[in-house]
Structure 1
């Protein structure tokens, strides 16, 4: 038994007290730990590991909430669930944060040296890892802490080395000179997907390069004149008639005075600029490819910090953008630069530092992607391929992986997985190995030094689904929990992470890493903007929890979620979720107060059921079916709305109202049946709601006379065929319509709740029995002293009317209201509404207002106008009824 009913629930729910109490209770009970029953079917999720760079943001809160909902749901369904937690070392981002902290102390990483710097980085990691764990607890997520991993822990480091060595031995990892994306601020290479392309207003610089033979010049256009210092050719299209006579000639490179050839290459677009382009193989990826085809020299004119080097001659030491300005002036003065044209183009920026990325010729490590991508592409042709939710993201994924380029995996950092490669200082031999070699295998020298670079963070993250389960060892966890069932992640990292996990899993474990990929959208601010530090519009989930409680935040995020789509964060929606929690709390207090002294054995649903009993049990069946189906389909928003409507409308607003009749009546059998239905429906509703709102459901459930240690490990509700009663829906709907219609009329006529009224009903033959069977409920819930029920009824003079399914309702005004006073009040209300309608129409007829006011203000005025008109129609209708 969960807990004896010792007292009523407090008058108000205290989320902060409940959250700490129950999370500690769950941890102490080890309810989150997997592997307790080998006979259960496993269900696995690995958490997308947050970076140890700072606090969790609202996007993490959404992602973790959705995963937790699935995990709690499957746990209650009887699966052996493993939700494996962990964190990512986040190489570039974490190193930048640690270096920033050191700068505040007046120290650089080079002052400390590699080992001391790494000590500082581990200190940073320990602080933020503990902080993230505290935030996980506050959000209420049910992860298995006993299996927590970190991308730099020993087991994962061994997995990274194993993968690197195997790929190298297969010729899929190589070291070579290539144009890479270079971040001059963090001074490290970036992969293509770590570059954000932004439209920038720039310029197209048109220059005349003089021909060596003095016969004229050739015009070229460039957006980056500073790179001309590294030009090694001019290229034209081989079929461009304008330049065919120049192919094979040479020009004199201005400023540098170096001879460079004019070559023909089909890559050149004759329509762009002049149709002739300067080729700088060391500073442009397309030029690099062209240079490879034509055997051109590669001249680097910049240093790693973005400043010009010795090959830049008199511009050496200048920042690249300062050099651009100076070169433009010098070229203008020399008559070389003949036109500057405004030009909007896409410029790559570093995802981490925000600086303009420099295409840079550098020796780096690469993964040969085409062979790995081939199997991933073939997998999706099979019915057993990874399922993307929504399925439109499969096309996005395939488009990228079908056109994938080799992956630059080396990073010029200290924090990360150091590349397992050693160089012999004596003979230059390169050795790639799982452990440091004692001597050079070629010349046996002991003078070995390890590669200074580390691997791209995503290299280790790509192994996450299987490395966290113990691979490359054949562990019990790997055998039982791999492949995982679903990955919940943002659509913005399909390329960074999802694609890479798929191809590495196929290569090394010979199985896809997960069955489903559920794509979530971004959580934007109330205006639809992306949250950012620069805008100052970020939302800290811990602040939301402190103010409203974790359950309210979780319910708001999950109900606002549609797979793959962004949502807007609005505090009004969090307040609405908190109000829902309060509604559940108050309904539960009512139930508990009305079952005092009743044992669990006495709360069996037996005996005759009222229409309200049959209806709520049938609606519970329907809700169980809908919620289960929607959770299985990852439709969290629809699932939340289905539960909200059932609990708030059906259970709290209607069934509890009907339940008061037998609870406060003299029929003990009916009272006991109602008590049993109340407890059963509340118990089942709490279980359905538990994955979304774990804390309040545990707090209430522990007060119910039901069997079990915790709602966390209670059984998920299932449909009960004995409660199937579809006919009850129509009957109950008639009663609800009737009560609602009478209450609306009373409210419109301002009739006090305690004032008893007369009600006449003219029913059709099909529904008359429903009204007869429920006269007591109608009288009590409508505040009716006299109820007349007759299919032949004539409408009384001076009466208010309403039409419901199968019947007409009449409320005689005599004795209900003072007719003269009511007419005067309605006339006054009509005059006010006429004025408001006229005011809005005048405002909307003003072209200046409609053209100049913000669209949302204009729309709000239109909405007001429609509301005023609707109210006016109601008042006119009531006046007509009263006047006869």
Structure 2
């Protein structure tokens, strides 16, 4: 037990306690026989640094992990980082560029070695920052999506999916980033509003009988147009369907097709179709019978114009950047007399979030996963309740996306990442061997010769297995080798040369395996010393098949026949905490892969939290300059305050508005608890020696025990329902109001020298027990201050992080004591408010009269008055005298005068005291009167209240006028409207409160 410093300094305790926890293995699950509890963190990018979204996500995870640990479970929080293919390669290439160097100066292997060097030196920044937040992760077994064991799992999944026909190579449109020279996911596309143009021009009909008008925001793409679409119900164009138009500039003849994509209400109702450069047009083209292999591609990997397959693009346009080509095409259309008009328009334009360049829909060969097949078991799992999505409102969005899911592009044109385990060999025909080669142009000006889809593909875990497969395929005539220096497969008279695919896998593909590939699946380096569990040995996994279906025969939980806990009971994970923005990029894909390979859900509950927004409700972004650095907040207010803010503001289904003042308020909350602990130390209150509530005789002690139990119950229920705000607010109200503001004040007289020793001892024991319960239930939210206070209050056998969660035993609740102390608090609170409203000087002790409900109505019958009220006042006379500043109470309907100082009672029945001027208030069913004659200038007070009421009502009415103005509500920013509503409510309440105070004065 150490004496606490007078001032609470978060920085002085945080680093010390975190280092202690980690060094002593407190985050390591080590409870043989205990129920396993598992959560995995969404692996942050290895290049990343802690942002406010990370702070929210990881705070919620840590609350659940620490709570599970305190509940006696063998809690494991799996931690790791994602290799972040694009981001990491960009970081390393930038460093090389600063040294006048570049990636293409090196072999692929040498460049990858440089990335590993960077990772070892600089790739741990975010993990250090997670420690500052207080995350109790199992750092002894930190994972990385490129570590050896995890990579084995990734390769196995790829090969198995390919062999099952669920992963294939295809030519489709992708989001192409010309700046990075790779396909990117939708999550890496940032949509911006750009001021652009809408060009209208006409395509002449082939027979010269007229023309058809079309419009576009990208006129340069007409160089690769392959059709014009009109709505089949549009009577204007019925006769034109099937005819052809001749494109200006290229002279290409293209058909007019019928397709519902064309909206008769938009523009001319006719739409140009460029299937190789627009996602909607791609689908229209396929419906029109155009195969992907036949779709025209007019741009290279850098976004420059290249020749199409029909060779019709004029030579003077070749090599132009797409935006320079736009100017040239518009000029050409104007020169040909087919440009009709140009409109200014705001255009939603896709940009690469890392490169900052406009994204191009680009037709290219990529690897795809049959997501539609894998999605079916995941849909069924959510519908059956095997996976509970919280909040439930996200289910509709989940089903809508999953039921309309598109093939998942999993290849990226990078060097850093899991290289695709596919080797290409030359195609084989009846005569012999032949090669079919495509040219792929890269952003740096280089190009790669690679096999087209017609070539033979060998997918295997290793190069040796690929060679063996190829040898069986080509026969004994040929010796099969792998060429590590050339970029295309070939054959000689007696040798066949394979080349491995240059691409790497999308990082979402590897992270989709996170819930099981981090736990020892297929020998992927388990973080635990796994042994046989429920008859299943380490690394064993159910057989895989081409499809996964959920049993409905009633066997096992939720219809899953294979419900035996896997991977030492760590799979399925108990819960996943995730931002809703990666529901489809990560969460849904984990469901697909987990169900397919483990035959069970990856997690039982999926909790989706909102975004942390700026104080005005806007989305945070660096370009807006409204981001918040969580580390700066930790430096200023401490990690505990930031964590508590995150929890208290996390309300299911809502985003969080960043409010630094509230973070400061929770630092003040920590300070209040600190001072309460110092008060306890100063008065001989120490830690409790029992988990059960101590015996109590005083009503105030029985009351605080009951309040403690009810708070534990509230926190348990809130956390079970993932109501982080409910749990945090229950603790806050109990600690601040019930324990600090009331209980400690109410028991202060028990520490006076003239109080009986046994009462003093009882209050000390109860106060110590309550303080211990506070520290335990608050620990998941504020781990640092609670651990510090835990050890300061007593000599402990163990750290708080591994203490035992309180017992919410309702048998220890005394309703009568609750009612009595509840009345006392209500009486003191109301009296304080009334005194403040009418400006009674703090030191004044005006006479107090109990009128009684019936007395006010005109009856003086003592039988109508509660007979035990004076006894309640007597039991709490010292407290009421001290805290209520009341010396004497007179009960008018019984004539009893009660002296709170001496405890003497004097009957004055029959006397009719002149009450004079004063103020009334009601507590329960009793009416009280404070005599203010000579204490307060009542006329001046009435004038003050009247003036204040008028000012509040004026502001209230002004705000009501604004809110009733449709123009303001429709045009003002949403945050401005919300502020006006809040201000109106505040002023309305103020006016009501002041009016009530004036009425009390009579």
Superposition TM-score, scaled by structure 2 size: 0.81
Match in the other structure for 1:826: 941
Match of 2:744 among 644, 656, 663: 656
Q: CA deviation at 1:382?
A: 2.1
Decide which of 130, 133, 146 is 2:140's aligned counterpart.
146
> 2:142 matched to 1:24?
no
**Which residue pairs with 1:436 in the alignment?**
463
Q: Which residue of 2 aligns with 1:632?
A: 720
Q: Is the 8 A contact 1:603 1:675 kept in 2?
A: no
CA contact (8 A) 2:848 2:931 kept: yes
**Match of residue 709, structure 1, among 798, 817, 821:** 798
Q: Which region of structure 1 is more displaced relative to structure 2, 870-879 or 331-340?
A: 870-879
Q: Describe how 1:276-425 pairs up with structure 2 within 5 A.
A: 276-292=270-286, 293-295=288-290, 297-311=294-308, 312-313=313-314, 314-341=316-343, 346-383=348-385, 385-424=386-425
Q: What per-residue deviation string (whole Å, max 9, x for no partner) do you get for residues 149-194 of structure 1?
A: 0111111111110011011111111112222221112221123454
Is the alpha carbon distance of 1:436 and 1:858 closer, same or farther for their aligned partners in structure 2, counting shifts above 3 Å?
closer
**Superposition deviation, residue 765 in structure 1:** 1.3
Q: Tell me if 1:165 matches 2:166.
A: no
* Residues 305, 320 of structure 2: 8 Å contact kept: yes
> Which of the residues 672, 681, 702 maps onto 1:614?
702
Distance 2:964 2:393 in 1: 42
CA contact (8 A) 1:603 1:673 kept: no
| d(CA) in 1 for partners of 2:359, 2:690 | 73
> Aligned ranges for residues 482-497 of structure 1 at < 5 Å?
482-497=571-586
Q: How far does the alpha carbon of each residue in 1:218-260 deviate from its partner, in whole angstroms, 9 at most, with x for none?
A: 3333332211111234444566555455455443321112333
Aligned-partner Cα distance in 2 for 1:315–1:776: 95
Q: Give the corresponding residue for 2:41.
A: 47
Shift of 1:868: 6.5
SS of the residue aligned with 2:169? strand
**Cα distance in 2 for residues equivalent to 1:742 and 1:272:** 69
| Greater CA drift, 673-682 or 583-592 | 583-592
Q: Is the 8 Å Cα contact of residues 603 and 679 (structure 1) preserved in structure 2?
A: no
Which structure ranks higher in relative contact order (CA pairs < 8 Å, sequence separation ≥ 6)?
Answer: 1
1:470 corresponds to which of 509, 520, 524: 520
CA contact 1:836–1:868 (8 Å) conserved in 2: no
Question: Could you report, residue by residue, the CA deviation over 1:311-349 in whole angstroms, capped at 9, with x for unpaired residues?
Answer: 442212222122122211221121122233556665444
Is 1:258 matched up with 2:252?
yes
For 1:858 and 1:192, the matched residues in 2 are separated by: 37
**Helix, strand or coil at the partner of 2:37:** strand
Counterpart pick for 1:453 among 493, 496, 503: 503
Taking a change above 3 Å as real, the CA distance of residues 791 and 642 of structure 1, as seen in their structure-2 partners, is farther
- In structure 2, the residue corresponding to 1:294 is in which secondary structure? coil
Q: Is the 8 A contact 2:693 2:812 kept in 1?
A: no
Q: Which secondary structure state, in structure 2, belongs to the residue aligned with residue 107 of structure 1?
A: coil
Decide whether aligned partners of structure 1 residues 879 and 301 sit closer, same or farther in structure 2, where only a CA change above 3 A counts: same
Which has the larger displacement, 771-780 or 518-527?
A: 771-780
| CA deviation string 1:665-693 (max 9, x = no partner) | 33001110011110011111111111000
CA distance in 1, matches of 2:247, 2:694: 98
SS of the residue corresponding to residue 74 of structure 1 reads helix
**Matched position secondary structure for 2:124:** helix
1:133 aligns with 2:127: yes
- Report whether the alignment pairs 1:873 with 2:995: yes
What is the CA–CA distance in structure 1 between the aligned matches of 2:846 and 2:236, rounded to whole Å?
97
Q: Distance in 1 between matches of 2:148 and 2:71?
A: 35
1:861 positional shift: 7.1
Which residue of 1 is the match for residue 866 of structure 2?
A: 765
Are residue 184 (structure 1) and residue 178 (structure 2) matched?
Answer: yes
What corresponds to 1:728 in structure 2?
Answer: 817
Superposition pairs of residues 637-716 of structure 1, within 5 angstroms: 637-664=725-752, 665-705=754-794, 708-716=797-805
In structure 1, the residue matched to 2:528 is: none
- Partner Cα separation in structure 2 for residue 285 and residue 643 of structure 1: 52
Q: Unmatched 5+ residue regions in structure 2?
A: 427-432, 435-454, 482-496, 524-536, 540-565, 853-864, 896-911
Cα distance change on mapping 1:282 and 1:80 into 2, 3 Å: same
Q: Give the drift of 1:102.
A: 3.1
Q: 1:490-569, aligned counterparts within 5 Å?
A: 490-569=579-658
Deviation at 1:708, TM superposition (A): 3.6
Distance, in Å, in 2 between the alignment partners of 1:133 and 1:846 is 52
Match of 2:60 among 41, 62, 66: 66
Is 2:513–2:590's contact at 8 Å kept on the other side of the alignment?
Answer: yes
Does the 8 Å CA contact 1:765/1:791 hold for their aligned counterparts? no
Task: Establish whether residue 779 from structure 1 lines up as the match of residue 881 from structure 2.
Answer: yes
Q: Which moved more, 1:870-879 or 1:799-808?
A: 870-879
Q: Does structure 1 retain, via aligned residues, the 8 Å contact 2:416–2:504? A: yes
Question: Is 1:227 matched with 2:221?
Answer: yes
Q: Which runs of 5+ in 1 are unaligned?
A: none
- For 2:660 and 2:957, locate their aligned partners in 1 and report how far apart those are by CA, in whole Å: 34
Call closer, same or farther: CA 1:613–1:860 in 2, change over 3 Å: closer
CA–CA distance in 2 between the matches of 1:795 and 1:355?
87
Residue in 2 aligned with 1:33?
28
Distance in structure 2 (CA, Å) of the matches to 1:298 and 1:781: 85
- What do residues 737-761 of structure 1 show as CA deviations (whole Å, max 9, x unaligned)? 2222333444456555555554333
Alpha-carbon contact 2:919-2:1001 (below 8 Å) kept? no
Report how far residue 199 of structure 1 moved.
6.0
Distance 1:324 1:77, change over 3 A: same
Per the alignment, do residues 651 and 795 of structure 1 end up closer, same or farther by CA in structure 2, a change over 3 Å counting? farther
- Measure the CA separation in 1 of the matches of 2:392 and 2:956: 46
- 2:715 counterpart of 1:593: no
The answer to whether the Cα contact below 8 Å between 1:708 and 1:714 also exists between their aligned partners in 2 is: no
Q: Distance in 2 between matches of 1:175 and 1:498?
A: 24
Rounded to whole Å, the distance in 2 between the matches of 1:743 and 1:278 is 76
- Deviations along 1:434-471, one digit per CA (max 9) or x if unpaired, are 01137442243313321111111100011111111121
Q: CA separation in 1, counterparts of 2:35 and 2:191?
A: 45
* Aligned 8 A contact 1:491 1:564 in 2: no
Cα deviation per residue 1:86-116 (whole Å; 9 max; x = unaligned)? 1111112222333333333333322344334
Query: 1:481 is paired with a residue of what secondary structure?
Result: coil
Query: Does structure 2 conserve the Cα–Cα contact (< 8 Å) formed by 1:13 and 1:585?
Result: yes
Deviations 1:181-222 (A, max 9, x none): 211122211234544555666544333323333333333333
C-alpha displacement of 1:419: 0.7
Measured in 2, the distance between the counterparts of 1:811 and 1:711 equals 49
Cα 1:767–1:338, aligned 2, differ >3 Å: closer, same or farther? farther
Counterpart-to-counterpart distance in 2, 1:842 and 1:741: 29
Distance 1:418 1:772, change over 3 A: same
Q: Check conservation: 1:424, 1:445, Cα contact below 8 A.
A: no
